[in-house]
Structure 1
Amino acid sequence: MADRLIPRQALEYIKNKKLRPAFSYKDVWNEEHATAFTVAKAMQLDVLSDIKGAVKKAIENGTTFEQFKRALKPTLMRKGWWGKKEMSDPLTGESITAQLGSDRRLKTIYSTNLRSAYQKGQYDRTMESDLHPYLMYRIGASIHHREQHVRWNNLIRPKDDPIWNSIFPPNGYGCKCYTVAVTEARKQKYERDGVPAYDPGARKTVRVPVQTESPKPNYRNFFNERKGTLERIPQGITPGFNWNQGQTGRTIPVLQECIKKAQNEMPEAVDSVIRTLQNSTIYRNHLSGFVDQAYKNKAAGMVNNKNTTPVGFLDKKLTDFLKAEGIDAGGRNIIVLEQRLVTGDKYLVRHAKAGNAPTKQDWKNLMDYLADADVYWDNRKKKSLLFLKKLSETKYLKISVDVEATERFLHLPKFDTMYYLDIAEESEKGIEEYRKIMNLKRIR
Structure 2
Amino acid sequence: MSRGPRPTMARRVVRAAVSVAAAATTVALVACSDGQVQVKSLASPGWSSYGGNAGNTNFAYPEVPDDLALSWTRPTGGPISSPVTVSNQSNVNVTSSTADGCNWMVLDPRAGRLNYCKRMRPGIEVQSSLIDQFDQPYVGEQTMFLGWTAGGAIRWRMPVIGVPVSAKFAAPSVVFLATTQGQILLLNTQDATFAAPEVRLRADANPDDAMAGFGDCVVSGPRCGIPAPAAVDFDRQRAYLNFWPQGAIASQVRALDYGEVDGKREVREAWHADIPGGIVGPAAVSADGQTVYAFSRLGKLVALHAQDGKTKWTYDYGDPGFATLTATPDGKIIPTGPLGGPLRMLADRGDKAEQVWSRDDLKTASLSTLTNSGTAWTVVRQADDNLALMEVSATDGKTLRTLPLPDAKGFTTGVAVSPKGQIAVGTHIGKVYFFDSKAEIGK
> With structure 2 as the length reference, what TM-score do the two structures score?
0.27
Flag the structure with higher strand content.
Answer: 2
Which protein is bigger by CA-based radius of gyration?
1
Structure number with greater CO (CA < 8 Å, separation at least 6) is: 2
